[in-house]
Amino acid sequence: MLTLLLAAAVLLGSCARGPGRVAPVAPPPGVVSKFSSMPPGSAYPPGWRELTFSRFRKPTHYAMVDDCGTTVVEATTDGGSSGLVHLLDIDPRKFPVLTWRWKVLELIPGADSTRADAEDAPARVDISFAGERKKLSVQERVFFSLVKALAGLDMPYATLEYVWGNGAPAETVIVNTWTSRIRMILVESGADRTGAWVT
């Protein structure tokens, strides 16, 4: 069973660290709602929702919990596959900075971010990009159609995944084995900083 604590993903901002909380309000453009703005046990802040990625795997369990006076999201899974999403429509040239804090308590035994047969990670922050699908190769369009048929999801034009994984040094960029439209960056690699908040 894996547990991940995620404080908040914030564009051009930082996580609240104190126990004080305010009533939830929609954030300004380019900023993701902070989990820390809500009390433990509550619903997610405005803009956040759960998304299941596979019809064949159970979803991850998410809960708003207290961690030393700050509300964070705790993700617990035993072979699950789902995520929390916050939709934004922003220009990355105007908002080029992504900041978040995360804590992974343990790695997935045997997982290796560099191998298709063992690719898995206890934590990811994904950024999706829009684009003209007509410009995709036939092979990519077939793959996108297959994902839609099997998972019921529309693939984004491109995805950048910031991953806490294993199998290569930090800052390694990995092209997805199924599609070139997904790139992973191993922001954290290995167990050296498990159990600690990392920004």
How far is the C-alpha of 80 from the C-alpha of 1, rounded, in Å? 10
Predicted pLDDT of residue 30: 64
Say what the alpha-carbon torsion angle 172, 61, 59, 12 is, to the nearest 10 degrees.
Answer: -40
Question: Phi/psi of residue 147, each to 5°?
Answer: -60, -45
Predicted pLDDT of residue 184: 95
Question: Phi/psi of residue 134, each to 5°?
Answer: -65, -20
Q: How many CB atoms sit inside 10 A of residue 70's CB?
A: 23
Residue 26 makes CB contacts below 8 A (sequence gap 6+) with: 33, 46, 47
Residue 193 makes CB contacts below 8 A (sequence gap 6+) with: none
Q: What is the pLDDT along the chain (199 residues), one digit of tens a residue?
A: 444 555 444 333 333 333 334 444 556 666 788 999 999 999 999 989 998 877 677 889 999 999 999 999 999 988 777 899 998 888 888 888 888 999 999 999 999 999 989 998 999 999 999 899 889 999 999 999 988 888 778 889 999 999 999 999 999 999 988 889 999 999 999 999 999 999 9
How far is the C-alpha of 17 from the C-alpha of 162, rounded, in Å? 23
How far is the C-alpha of 123 from the C-alpha of 187, rounded, in Å? 10
Predicted pLDDT of residue 52: 83
